[in-house]
Structure 1
Amino acid sequence: MRIAIFSDTYAPEINGVARTLKRYTDYLEKRGIEYRLFVPNVSTPVPTVPQVQRLSSIPFLLYPDCRLALPNPHIKHTLEQFKPTLIHIATPINIGLYGLHYGKKNGIPMVASYHTNFDDYLEYYHLSLLNKLLWKYMHWFHRSFDKVFVPSKSTKEKLLQNQIHDNIELWGRGVNHQMYTPNKRSSEVVKAKYQIKEKNLILYVGRIAPEKDIHIVLETFYSLPEHIRKDAHLIIVGDGPLFDTLSEQHQEQITWTGFMEGEQLAEVYASSDVFLFPSPTETFGNVVLEALSSGLPVIGANAGGVQHLVKEGKTGFLCEPKKVNQFARQTSILLENSDLRSAFSYSARAYAKTISWDEIFDQLLESFKDVLYKKKRISA
């Protein structure tokens, strides 16, 4: 199997898709499976990897810090030498269009993975009028694939309802249990580092952007009963277009760390008391799984991929999107009841440990083999 992968995002970019694809290529290397990856170049220096071809790029209109790869003649030369047996397209624009064209022209089996609820993003950026056009394009783009992979059941249902494809399969996500673990809890160290005096730590990790409902995080914190809020501190980890404005406007009992990763992030996860994540636009919710693996109860939105990760009343609570009163009430319940928090924490860690990256990628590979086998039978 030789896989050509096309994506408009990849490490070291910081988002769920880029991180998942890095895990994916690491797995392929570990299994000795040949691949070529076509992605945008980045401003920060990165090691040259023979399997990864970085292309000239331009800023994406909605996300200027994300870039769109620009196809060039070298791609065709690379592909002709590589002779892929399968094409995998992870983003439906720019470089993904090139991969689609090449696969169709050369009769190569193709799969796509759907990672982003673009229709939800249009609403947040006041572009809802483009919704019908978006789904029309998505239908056209995906119709040539042998199979489409999605991260969650709700995403699958959405694509089926919009008749994007009739062969849609789940490709979930895993978590590094050794990295994200309750054993790294050191609340006093974290509090001392950020000069936090309050007893309880509420954590949000994610992009500081409209589609994450970051304003709901802030409103929830301000809506906590006074006797609870005076002993609580909100830590917001992440960067994005709203960071500068919001971090200047909201400072009392709130710490804005900016971007964070690795051991530093794992320590903050494990040292917090509850994880607040109201985003309704997730196709999966990688940070939610990291929080659960860290033994952190989650108060999340009952929408998108998050609803499938949080076990109501066992590992956390699910609230209706944008209902600040619900988020505030459930956060208050967990902060007031340490025994309930401990029970949720134990269940959260136990659930997260059942999810393995290797198992998820093993299943993906078997599905690829199935695509190739069926294609071979049809052409025989």
Structure 2
Amino acid sequence: MRLAIFTDTYEPEVNGVARTLGRWTDFLRRQGIEVMVFAPDPAMDNTSLQTSIQVQRFTSFPFFLYPECRLAVPNPVPVRRALQLFQPTLIHVATPFNMGLFGIHYAKKYRIPLVASYHTHFDRYLPYYNLQWMAKLLWRYLEWFHQECRMIFVPSPSTKAQLVGRGWRGERLDVWARGIKTDQFYPGVERTALQLPGPYAITSEQFVVLYVGRLSPEKDVGIAIDAFDKFRKSHPNAVMLIAGDGPSAGELEARCNREQLPIHFLGFQSLPALRELYAAADVFLFPSATETFGNVVLEAMACETAVVGARAGGVADTVTHGVNGLLCDPGSVDSFADALERLYQEPEERGRLAARGLAYSRNQSWDAIFGRLLSQFLEAESGNIGTIVQHIST
């Protein structure tokens, strides 16, 4: 198999889709499979990025609904030349924007088998930007975009169920689960030795609530802040750490400073500091109801931290309420505050949920997930649909 991936986000971008694709291409390389990636120029400087995967980059600008996902302005001439040299036997479109459209175009033109991965419920973002009126148009576009795909891979059973509910054929949908690297995310940290940016420090006596993720309206970070504020009024030893960046960062931090809330904004955090934050927290609070998976939930579990999440989307596929975490009503400040109170008052239950979360995470091996995915890609490549690969020529 020679795989061409067309995506609007890729390493060194740090969102979940980019990281997953980076791990996927690294796995394929280790299996001896040749991969070429077509992706936008990254927002950050990537001069130090080292990769053994061929990556064709194109000028881009940020997408307003998801700035980490950039809209490329690809030149068809170098794309065609690169494909002529590479001669892919399978095309994977990972995002439904400009690069994905190029992938579909070349798959159709040269009769190359096509698969897709569906990562994000963009329709759920629309209400946060007063764009509800676009929902029907968006779904029509997404249905058209995926109609030629032999297989469509989704992050969770709930995502598959939603798409089937919208009339997508279930036999074309399969779950591409997310995994964890246990050598990167694991328990154990000396809290007093934790080096936080700026003047912040935490002690062993404090009850630490952590949020990790993008700071944007659809993540409902304001719900987390409101819930923590309600909870901490009865618990002055409580402190909240927020690790991440995004369009809402300035507004949220200004509010917390204005109201003098014990909430510290740490900005974007990478490994190994990110692992230490997870391991140092008593509770990981994640109120987002728009996730198709929610990688940060699994990361927190792998660091043996009790998880409180929204009873919605992919988070509810990972967290079993009362077994390996707690689930709350989406958008309910009271529900999340009550969950924090419960875990504060019952440290034994908090420890039990954290231990079971750790055990769950250790069964989510990336290699096992990718091994199954590779078999499915090979099946799609050879398929019984009757499509014949036509070598790309000028």
* 1:142 and 1:164 in contact (8 A); partners too: no
Q: Is it true that 1:201 corresponds to 2:208 in the alignment? A: yes
The structure 1 residue matched to 2:80, chosen from 70, 76, 79, is 76
Asked whether the 8 Å contact 1:148–1:165 carries over to 2, the reply is no
Match of 2:392 in 1: none
Q: 1:65 to 1:116 in 2, by over 3 A?
A: closer
Q: Is 1:223–2:223 an aligned residue pair?
A: no
Q: Which whole-Å CA distance do the structure 2 matches of 1:192 and 1:117 have between them?
A: 33
In the alignment, the residues of structure 2 paired with residue 191 and residue 23 of structure 1 have an alpha-carbon distance, to the nearest angstrom, of 28
Tell me the distance in 2 between the aligned counterparts of 1:224 and 1:45.
Answer: 42
Deviation at 1:111, TM superposition (A): 0.3
Q: Which residue matches 1:172?
A: 177
The count of corresponding residues between Structure 1 and Structure 2 is: 378
Contact 2:113 2:387 in 1 (8 A): no
CA deviations on 1:249-274 (whole Å, 9 max, x unpaired) are: 20431110000010100001001000
CA deviation after TM superposition for structure 1 residue 222, in Å: 1.1
- Provide the C-alpha distance between the structure 1 equivalents of 2:98 and 2:330, rounded to a whole number of angstroms: 32
Alignment of 1:284-303 (within 5 A): 284-303=293-312
Which residue identity is paired with 2:146? H
Following TM superposition, by how much is the alpha carbon of 1:191 offset from its aligned partner in structure 2, in angstroms? 7.8
1:91 match: 95
The one-character-per-residue Cα deviations of 1:70-107 (angstroms, maximum 9, x if unpaired) are 22110100001111000000001101001001001111
Structure 1, gaps ≥5 residues long: none
**TM-score (structure 1 length as normaliser):** 0.95
Structure 2: runs of 5 or more not aligned: 390-394
AA aligned opposite 2:347: S
- Which residue is 1:344 aligned to? 353
Shift of 1:369: 1.5
After TM superposition, the structure 1 stretch with the greater mean CA deviation from structure 2, 49-58 or 270-279, is: 49-58
Kept after mapping to 1: 8 A contact 2:191/2:202: no
Kept in 2, the 8 Å contact 1:314–1:344? The answer is yes
Letter in 2 for 1:177: T
Q: Which of 148, 153, 159 is 1:149 aligned to?
A: 153
Contact residue 196 and residue 266 of structure 2 kept, 8 A: no
- Tell me, yes or no, if the aligned pair for 1:109 and 1:375 is still in contact at 8 Å: no
The residue number in structure 1 matching 2:18 is 18
2:348 alignment partner AA: D
* 191 and 10 in structure 1: CA distance in 2 versus 1, 3 angstrom threshold: closer
Q: CA deviation at 1:375?
A: 3.7
CA 195–106 in structure 1, closer or farther in 2 if over 3 Å, else same: same
Residue 238 (str. 1) matches residue 244 (str. 2): yes
Give distance in 2, aligned partners of 1:369 and 1:18.
22
Does the CA contact (< 8 Å) of 1:5 and 1:87 recur in 2? yes
Aligned counterpart, 2:38: 38
In 2: Cα distance, 1:188 partner to 1:111 partner: 49
- Separation (CA, whole Å) in 1 of partners of 2:32 and 2:63: 34
Residues 48-57 or 37-46, more deviating: 48-57
The structure showing larger relative contact order (alpha-carbon pairs under 8 Å, at least 6 residues apart) is 2
List per-residue Cα deviations over 1:165-193 (Å, max 9, x = no partner).
Answer: 4410000000111211113x222223877
The Cα shift of 1:66 comes to 4.0
Q: Which amino acid aligns with 2:174?
A: E
Aligned pair 1:59/2:62, yes or no? yes
Structure 1 residue 56: Cα displacement: 1.3
Report the residue type matching 1:173 in the other structure: R
Matching residue within 126, 130, 151 for 2:130: 126
Task: Note closer, same or farther for the CA distance 1:48–1:76 as it changes in structure 2 (3 Å cut).
Answer: farther
Q: Which amino acid aligns with 2:23?
A: R
Query: Residue type matched to 1:45 in 2?
Result: N
> Normalising by structure 2, what TM-score?
0.92
Letter in 1 for 2:368: E
C-alpha RMSD over aligned residues: 1.8
Q: State the distance in 2 between where 1:345 and 1:325 align.
A: 22
The correspondence of residues 261-340 of structure 1 with structure 2, limited to 5 A, is 261-340=270-349
The residue number in structure 1 matching 2:374 is 365
Asked if residue 182 in structure 1 is aligned to residue 191 in structure 2, the reply is no
- The structure-2 alpha-carbon separation of the partners of 1:375 and 1:107, relative to structure 1 and needing over 3 Å to count, comes to farther
Distance 1:101 1:165, change over 3 A: farther
% identical equivalent positions: 45
